[in-house]
Chain A
Amino acid sequence: MKRMRDEGRGMRAPRAAGVRVTSHESRITANGGRRRFMLGAAGLTFGVAAGIPDFLRATGGAAAAQGTKSVAMNPWVTLYADGTVAIMSPACEMGQGSLTSLPRIVADEMDADWAKVKIVPAYPSGKLYGNPLFGGEQYTAGSATVTGYFNNLRQFGAQVRQVLLDSVADHWRVPTGELATIPGYVVHEKAGRRIGYGEIVGFAKIPANAPEVSVPPVATAQFRLVGQDTQRIDVPSKVNGTAQYSIDVQVPGMIYGAILREPMEGAAPERIDDSTARAIEGVIRIVPLQYGVGVLAETPWAAFKAKNALKVSWSRNAAGWGFSSAKGYEQFSAIAKDASQKGFPWDSKGDMAAAMAKAATIVEGEYRADYAYHAQMEPLNSVAAVSPAGDAAEVWAGTQSQTITVAAVAAALGIPEAKVKFNGMLLGGGFGRRGNRDVEFIVDSVLMSKAAGRPVKVIWTREDDVHNGRFRPLYVNRIRAGLDASGRIVAWQHRVVADEVLAFMDPVRHKLTKGVDGIAIRGTELPTYAIPDRMSEGLLQKTGMRTNPLRAIGVGQNSFANEVFVDELAARQGVDPVEFRRRLLDKTPLAQRARHVIDEAAKMADWDRKRPGRGLGIAYLDYSGTQVAGIAEVSVDRVSGAIKVHQFWCAIDCGVPVHPDNVIAQTESSIVYGLGLALSERITIEDGQVKQGNFYDYHVPRMSDVPEIHIKLIPTRNHPTGAGQMATPVVPSAISNAVYALTGVRLRQQPMLPDRVKVALAEAGSRAA
């Protein structure tokens, strides 16, 4: 395990004003400029401890609640007389670690002593705590948290430090320029004295306008905490059972709810036979809902049993009836081939059609992926206490967006958002499942509590969680590459046919993006490959199936298609796959970083070494600016068709790694997630309904499935980019390419199930014979 370091870097002098941060900053405007953050800071009520999960009450929340003398420096930082520095963390914590890493950025710039920092989850306020990359909503997704908040948090931290310096200068009647900081103290070296941040509380002067301070660009900044390892603050509570998820919440008078939901979107209950269900002891009431039938009961067990005993027939007007995975593949494949059908453009450069027309050779490939399920370990659930009059609500939930949740609860009850008190709980896994605009699993408890007139905890069973799943869509990708006479790629066309995602999961953002569904199409872009004329387009279908972002979103399949196809082109030309990619890379600085991760991965894997019975495959990816290369070492059981991954090497460059050990943990995690999607995870739809039900027929990776994982984190002086899911897409493509290297058989569909591998091997065998 890595050493926990927290090294000082000496004294910091005041900074000159006016240095711009990075070009990235220009995107961060959602909150109306940074000066306003000091405005009205004194008027902030820091009695916001209400929104703090219980596991934090002993830390930041307690300090706030105890009434220790304190001063709110800005909405992000409150200083306490005992030296405690409370820092708000605006994101949701689902295991990705930003509860800890975001305050580290603030603490670094304000020169706080990390040992004195208490992290406080921010209460819902998109205006104050929204992620600039999500239009100012508090929305934890897209591995966009550190990257989205980074510049603002540095700025706010630097402003706090400046106010501390100015306050001390005023107090000591010395020029600010003679003062500096060391962690936790303002120092006047000339006079040989220093003062702790806590002591400044007594006389701190909070200006009406934020001081003009600029932070050095990331390329030259001297970070003290950023880039160093630390312990995540939520970890101790997660080894002794005290961590609080919404499923753990109990409130006085609470009863339990279970819901039998429509088998697909839009199918309403028509006839309900609840005679058996009502007879189950402990059942309080059956609650008909527009989208299903709810049960209220004294215990979860009675609620589950009653839900299972319901007999309901469903209206046949839903779009999904009759649809199936098999039909989807057939339809999508036909659409992908039909050039007369146009989609929305995504990665457009140059003139693809003209370049393709001039190509000497055209190569095509089709790639597929089944629906896939999030399988977060905590089955969805929530707790709501709606007032008897129905005019106010308190909600406990694990969500990826505080903003969306408060709005959805208010809308469900027809009440103002101010009447909703939201308690953000830890998430027992998110992976994209908990950020849909309607947060249906939270509205469940609100409607049930309203019906009951009491607090209700609604728990989905695992079977509910699978049946009501909102999946990564079914995909058919068709890629065409135009080659010139020398074999160089001169044109690239990538058509993505899939169920629409954004239109279903977030109509608000879908409208804002004018129908461009970045969730489904992202990952088709090739910013580092030197292909001048290219185009990708999305042809998304209304199938009536429930979809959502799932870890690595569209990248998980679109990059699979890209990287297996690139491998096929390399093989056609008889060029080594690593060398082929190196040659394909552009000469831009970004492509240099790409070259670096590819080279590092190849070096780690000892790429040129042959190993009997094993194959090696590589995949590379630019994922929202993060550079990733992965290499898989596999063997194949030719009798069963099972693929075994023995080793996986990964090199990753996400710019400045704010919390390096956590980047490594997230990369391990993304690799294991990618392994399941690659080899075993499949949701099958028949007649519009989900066939799987639990972990016995939806197989996620277990410890015995996991290869030895080797990760090289390459820190660079670039703005931090995402780390939470970036390696997931390179796993299936590296595995497929490794199987080709070993067997000469191309696997073009996720998951690469044993039966599919067997068929592919047999087909190749009969072709050879």
Chain B
Amino acid sequence: MPQMITTTLTVNGVQRTVTAHPDTPLLWVLRENFRMTGTKFGCGAGQCGACTVHVDGRSAFSCLLEIQHMAGKSVTTIEGLSPDSKHPLQRAWIAEQVPQCGYCQSGQIMRAAALLKDKRNPSRAEIVEHMKTNICRCGSYPRIVAAIQRAAKEV
């Protein structure tokens, strides 16, 4: 039985330390230890994207990242995307009234934010290709596309 380990990582610009089992997914550390519950548990299998965060600037499924591999990494969650909830994507999400139940939307926004970092003006096809990792059971997809396109114009 592996012993608990202590890991130090940066979350939203702040250094955090946690003691947990080595195979504990980052998702649960964020949610239950650090009490940042914006990142959601959806499938635990990298299938739905509800747990999407950025690790060293790239989008990742936090349900698949074991804490033992996170030492020294820099993680950004929905709570750290912008200081005032005014990221262009967040404003676009409101303008397009994207969320319904809203449960997947932190992950959707983090996934979209990674896209806009790489591509300032993604085509519709590029948006679909990039975003198909993330499930929205309410089917807000048409509005997600519209919101990304709206935000892209501002970035």
A interface residues with partner B (beta carbon < 8 Å)? 1, 94-97, 231-232, 234-245, 247-248, 250, 256, 279-282, 299-302, 304, 375-379, 426-431, 459, 461-462, 661-662, 665-666, 668-673, 694-696, 700-704, 706, 709
Contact = CB atoms under 8 A, between A and B. Distances in A.
29 contacts: A95-B102, A234-B102, A235-B98, A236-B85, A239-B89, A239-B99, A241-B39, A241-B79, A247-B37, A250-B35, A281-B1, A299-B20, A301-B24, A301-B25, A377-B103, A377-B137, A429-B103, A462-B42, A662-B97, A694-B43, A694-B47, A695-B47, A701-B139, A701-B141, A703-B131, A703-B132, A703-B134, A703-B145, A709-B142
B54 interface: no
Contact of B100 (A241, A245, A669): A669
A234 B32 CA distance: 23
B148 to A, nearest CB: 10
Interface of A is mostly: loop
B33 to A, nearest CB: 8
Contact of B139 (A97, A250, A673, A694): A673
Contacts of A1: 95-97, 146, 150
Given A236-B85, A665-B143, A96 B100 contact: yes
Given A238-B99, A242-B38, 16 more contacts: A239-B93, A279-B1, A299-B28, A301-B23, A377-B136, A379-B41, A426-B102, A661-B97, A666-B100, A668-B142, A672-B139, A672-B141, A673-B137, A695-B43, A696-B47, A704-B129
Nearest to A281: B1
Contacts of A377: 40, 42, 48, 50, 101, 103-104, 135-138
Contacts of A97: 100
Given A241-B36, A703-B145, A376 B101 contact: yes
Interface string B82-96: 000100011001111
A695 B134 CA distance: 11
A248 B37 contact: yes
A1 B89 CA distance: 15
B106 interface: yes
B122 interface: no
The 3 closest A-B pairs by CB, nearest first: A241-B38, A672-B139, A238-B102
Which residue among A377, A430, A672, A700 has the maximum number of chain B CB atoms within 10 Å of its CB? Answer: A377
A235 B101 contact: no
A490 B103 CA distance: 49
A459 B138 contact: no
B139 A240 contact: no
B128 interface: yes
Given A377-B103, A661-B97, A300 B32 contact: yes
Contact of A95 (B47, B89, B100): B100
Contacts of B99: 95, 234-235, 238-239
B77 interface: yes
Contact of A282 (B21, B38, B144): B21
A235 B138 CA distance: 14
A376 B102 CA distance: 11
Contacts of A429: 101, 103, 137-138
A669 B103 contact: no
A244 B106 CA distance: 12
B45 A241 contact: no
A462 B102 contact: no
Given A239-B94, A695-B47, A301 B28 contact: yes
Given A239-B109, A377-B40, A377-B48, A95 B1 contact: no
B78 interface: yes
A670 B94 CA distance: 21
B37 A695 contact: no
B105 interface: yes
Given A240-B78, A428-B40, A696 B45 contact: yes
Contacts of B128: 703-704
Nearest to B95: A1
A239 B90 contact: yes
A239 B105 contact: yes
Which residue among B78, B79, B90, B103 has the maximum number of chain A CB atoms within 10 Å of its CB? Answer: B103
A430 B101 CA distance: 8
Interface of B is mostly: loop
B137 A700 contact: yes
Contacts of A96: 100
Contact of A427 (B25, B101, B109, B129): B101
Which residue among A245, A302, A378 has the maximum number of chain B CB atoms within 10 Å of its CB? Answer: A378
B8 interface: no
Interface residues of B, number: 66
Which residue among A95, A237, A239, A669 has the maximum number of chain B CB atoms within 10 Å of its CB? Answer: A239
A462 B43 contact: yes
B14 interface: no
Contact of B97 (A231, A240, A430, A461): A231
A623 B138 CA distance: 20
A232 B138 contact: no
Contact of B138 (A234, A245, A669, A703): A669
Interface in B1-56: 1, 4, 20-21, 23-25, 28, 31-32, 35-45, 47-48, 50
Contacts of B90: 239-240
B11 to A, nearest CB: 13
Contacts of A301: 20-21, 23-25, 28
Contacts of B1: 279-281
B53 to A, nearest CB: 11
A94 B103 CA distance: 10
B41 A459 contact: yes
A30 B134 CA distance: 43
Contacts of B50: 377
B133 to A, nearest CB: 8
Contacts of B97: 1, 231-232, 235, 661-662, 665
A235 B42 CA distance: 20
Nearest to A675: B139
A302 B40 contact: no
B85 A239 contact: yes
Contacts of A671: 139
Contacts of A248: 31, 37
Interface string B101-136: 111111001000000000000000001110111111
Contacts of B44: 304, 461-462, 694
A669 B37 CA distance: 25
A197 B70 CA distance: 56
Contacts of A239: 85, 89-90, 93-94, 98-99, 105, 109
A671 B85 CA distance: 30
A503 B90 CA distance: 44
Interface string B61-82: 0000000000000000111010
B103 to A, nearest CB: 3
Given A235-B94, A668-B143, A701-B139, A462 B38 contact: no
A54 to B, nearest CB: 11
B102 A243 contact: yes
Contacts of A245: 103
B135 A300 contact: no
A669 B12 CA distance: 33
B65 to A, nearest CB: 13
A304 to B, nearest CB: 8
Contacts of A282: 21
A241 B78 contact: yes
Nearest to B146: A1
B21 A694 contact: no
B141 A703 contact: yes
Contacts of B89: 239
B97 to A, nearest CB: 6
A299 B24 contact: yes
Contacts of B93: 235, 238-239
B85 to A, nearest CB: 4
B131 A665 contact: no
Given A247-B41, A694-B47, A95 B138 contact: yes
B62 to A, nearest CB: 13
